[in-house]
Amino acid sequence: MKGLPWDQRIARVAVKPLVRTAVTPNHVTLVTLLLALAGAGLLAVGEPALANWGAGVFVLARFLDHFDGELARQKGMVSRFGYYFDYVTGGLSFAALFLGIGIGLRHGPLGDWALVLGVAGAVSAVVSMFNNLGIDKHQGGDGDRDAVGYPAFAGFELEDGIYLLAPITWLGFLTPFFAAAGVGAAVYCLWTLWTLIGLRRGT
């Protein structure tokens, strides 16, 4: 397991009890999508207590996102459909998160800018999903394997920053985090687009 992100290492061990059950990787992917949408919905209500729950549920969903791939490998059920289903689930989850937070914070200090950031973040999440699919294709992904992955350091990937959503929300700093995340999502989207263009040009 050397070189694997920490959350994936945990997932590799945690899914072992599911290997001999009827649970499939696509079942797990569906559960992560439903949890992510539920978390985003709770954040959209705009009530602090529900936002706290929503952040926790969403973080749980993103953690469980590593379980489907590990289960697929251990059950020998890696598939093209699962590959794309997992990608779409990730894109929709983050899009829902941005929209949910934007709606929930529209009556706060950001006002209507919360909705603007929410829409911008949601669009960036979906566009980044397509860009990453293109990057995977150019870097050896064939639809039957895991995505190439995100930049990583010391066992943590770039996407692991989403785990901070829960403690930041619980501590009352969701608004500044959301503002920074909205800008970051747009920057990341541009980076994936630039990378994809470079790959297509052969540079």
Secondary structure class of 173 (helix, strand, coil): coil
| pLDDT at 154 > cutoff 70 | no
Q: Structural domain boundaries of the chain?
A: 6-201
Q: Would the pTM of this model clear 0.75, i.e. be above it?
A: yes
Mean pLDDT of 135-142: 76
Average pLDDT in the chain? 89
Core vs surface per residue 79-106: b (16+ CB within 10 A) or e: eeebbebbbebbbbbbbbbbbbbbbbbb
CATH architecture of 6-201: Up-down Bundle (1.20)
- Could you read off the pLDDT of 95-108 as tens digits, one per residue? 999 999 999 999 99
| pLDDT at 169 > cutoff 90 | yes
Note whether 142 and 107 are within 8 A (CB).
no
Note whether 36 and 62 are within 8 A (CB).
yes
Q: What is the pLDDT of residue 2?
A: 55
| pLDDT at 194 > cutoff 60 | yes
Note whether 97 and 37 are within 8 A (CB).
no
pLDDT over 90 percentage in the chain = 76
Structure confidence at residue 3 as a pLDDT band (50, 70, 90): low
Note whether 74 and 19 are within 8 A (CB).
yes
- Could you read off the pLDDT of 105-134 as tens digits, one per residue? 999 999 999 999 999 999 999 999 999 999
